[in-house]
Amino acid sequence: MAYVRINMNVNHDEYQVEVKPHWNLLYVLRKKIGLTGVKYGCGTGECGTCTVILDGKIVHSCLKLAAQCDGSEITTIEGLGVGSQLTRLQEAFVRHGATQCGYCTPGMILAAHSLLEANPKPTVQEVRDALTGNLCRCTGYQKIIEAIMDVTGQR
């Protein structure tokens, strides 16, 4: 099977990777680039733990072929914040107890981040709608929503 060479900008770093046509973006990010903050949860686009920002929009990286991402700009959870400095959103998650096992957290943070870039003052319903692509089995979502609303200056 022939490899396809792709170029991607991931978290402001340039990568050139040889990929097989059937590899998904999640596999390449985790196994070839080593970004394990992007999680494998279901592999079928239902859980959102594989969420990344691809060319400005959040996507389930398990549903994107890596070969489709040639020339793309990608942000993973590792690309938020500077060094070990937390963003206000990340701090709010910590303060509100919005993490338990933490597996959904990277995806939730990216989905919330993406929402707030487009809509800095969402309603609670708009927050819920924005998180429909991200499942959490631990927290019951309430603390996650509170953390996000807190960051927007709304309670």
Partner 1 sequence: MVGKNIPFIDASEMTRGRTVYASDTSLPGMLEGGLLRSPHPHAKIINIDISSAEQLPGVKAIITRKNIPNVKFGSTIQDDTVLAIDKVRHFGEPVAGVAALDEDIVEEALSLIRVEYEEIPAVFDA
- Is 140 a binding residue for partner 1 by CB under 8 A? The answer is no
- Quick check: 52 binds partner 1 (CB under 8 A)? no
Q: Closest distance between partner 1 and the C-beta of residue 105, in Å? A: 5
Edge to edge, the sheet with strand 51-54 lists: 13-19, 4-10, 72-75, 51-54, 57-60
Instruction: Report, in Å, the least distance between residue 83 CB and partner 1.
Output: 10
Distance, in Å, from the CA atom of 137 to the CA atom of 11, rounded to the nearest integer, reads 28
The piece of 27-35, 55-63, 116-124, 126-134 that touches partner 1 (CB under 8 A) is 27-35
Per CB under 8 A, the segment of 4-12, 58-66, 77-85, 119-127 that binds partner 1 is 77-85
Nearer to partner 1, 25 or 109 (CB): 109
Among 72, 105, 114, 134, binds partner 1 (CB under 8 A): 105
Query: At CA 134, angle to CA 128 and CA 137, rounded to 5?
Result: 100
Give least dist CB 81 to partner 1, A. Answer: 7
Mention every residue, 6+ apart, whose C-beta is less than 8 A from residue 30: 36, 38, 40
User: What residues contact residue 149 under an 8 Å CB cut-off, 6+ apart?
Assistant: 124, 127, 155
